[in-house]
């Protein structure tokens, strides 16, 4: 089954958008070594002010983790992106998250993909950073073009395929 037959490689660039309204955080400043040392890939985080989580790209949903804390996406250029909600939230077994997409759904940056219960994360002593990680094995360059305070759907940067 070819889920990507509607997609054609049109460009060597992919724009990334903010998944939430809040404070932009470079990936190297996230308080988790797996992310800050880019073990999963380059990217950024947003410290959220609102519960809504939006897609950072135009593409297709490739996976929704059973614990609802992470959603995999793939752009029409083939770049794979992971939206990871909170730090160490997998142990909460999905309770703070409501996901609105499923595998195979097409998304754009204005698509709401989830809600996150920020109060529950706070009570559980979990950081609420929403991470956007470029997980593709392709040779890429990630350029950030962001300010400190950011609104949902604002342009954050771009990925250039080499």
Distance CA 105, CA 96 (A): 22
Instruction: Check: CB of residue 159 under 8 Å from CB of residue 138.
Output: no
- The whole-angstrom separation of Cα 113 and Cα 99 is 6
What is the pLDDT, as a whole number, of residue 144? Answer: 82
**Strand order across the 106-107 sheet:** 106-107, 59-64, 70-75, 80-85, 130-134, 43-48, 22-26, 149-150
Tens-level pLDDT at each residue, the chain (162 residues): 444 444 444 568 899 999 999 999 999 999 999 999 999 999 999 999 999 999 999 999 999 999 999 999 999 888 999 999 999 999 999 999 999 999 999 999 999 999 999 999 999 999 999 999 999 877 888 888 666 889 999 999 899 887
Q: How far apart, in Å, are the Cα atoms of 91 and each of 35, 66, 74, 113, 139?
A: 17, 11, 26, 21, 33
Predicted pLDDT of residue 141: 83
- pLDDT tens per residue, range 34-51: 999 999 999 999 999 999
In the prediction, which pLDDT does 33 show?
A: 94
Q: Specify the pLDDT at position 1.
A: 44
Annotated catalytic residues are 84
- CATH superfamily of domain region 32-161: Glucose Permease (Domain IIA) (2.70.70.10)
For 9, counting Cβ atoms within 10 Å of its Cβ (0-12 exposed, 13-18 middle, 19+ buried), the class is exposed
Q: Give the tens place of pLDDT for each residue, 64-73.
A: 999 999 999 9
Q: Which helix (H) or strand (E) holds 119?
A: helix 118-123
Prediction pTM value = 0.90
Task: Give DSSP secondary structure letters for 64-82.
Answer: E-TTSSEEEEEETTS-EEE
């Amino acid at each position: 089954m070819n889920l990507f037959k509607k997609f054609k490689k049109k460009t060597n660039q992919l724009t990334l958008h903010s998944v939430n309204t809040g404070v932009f955080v470079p990936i190297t400043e996230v308080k988790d070594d797996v992310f800050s040392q880019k073990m999963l890939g380059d990217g950024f985080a947003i410290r959220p002010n609102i519960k809504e989580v939006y897609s950072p790209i135009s593409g297709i949903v490739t996976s929704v983790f059973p614990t609802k804390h992470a959603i995999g996406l793939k752009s029409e250029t083939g770049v794979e992106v992971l939206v990871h909600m909170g730090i160490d939230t997998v142990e909460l077994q999905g309770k703070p998250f409501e996901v609105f997409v499923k595998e195979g759904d097409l998304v754009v940056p204005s698509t709401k993909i989830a809600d996150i219960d920020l109060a529950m994360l706070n009570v559980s002593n979990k950081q609420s950073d929403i991470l956007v990680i470029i997980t593709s094995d392709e040779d890429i360059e990630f350029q950030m073009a962001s300010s400190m305070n950011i609104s949902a759907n604002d342009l954050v940067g771009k990925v250039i395929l080499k």
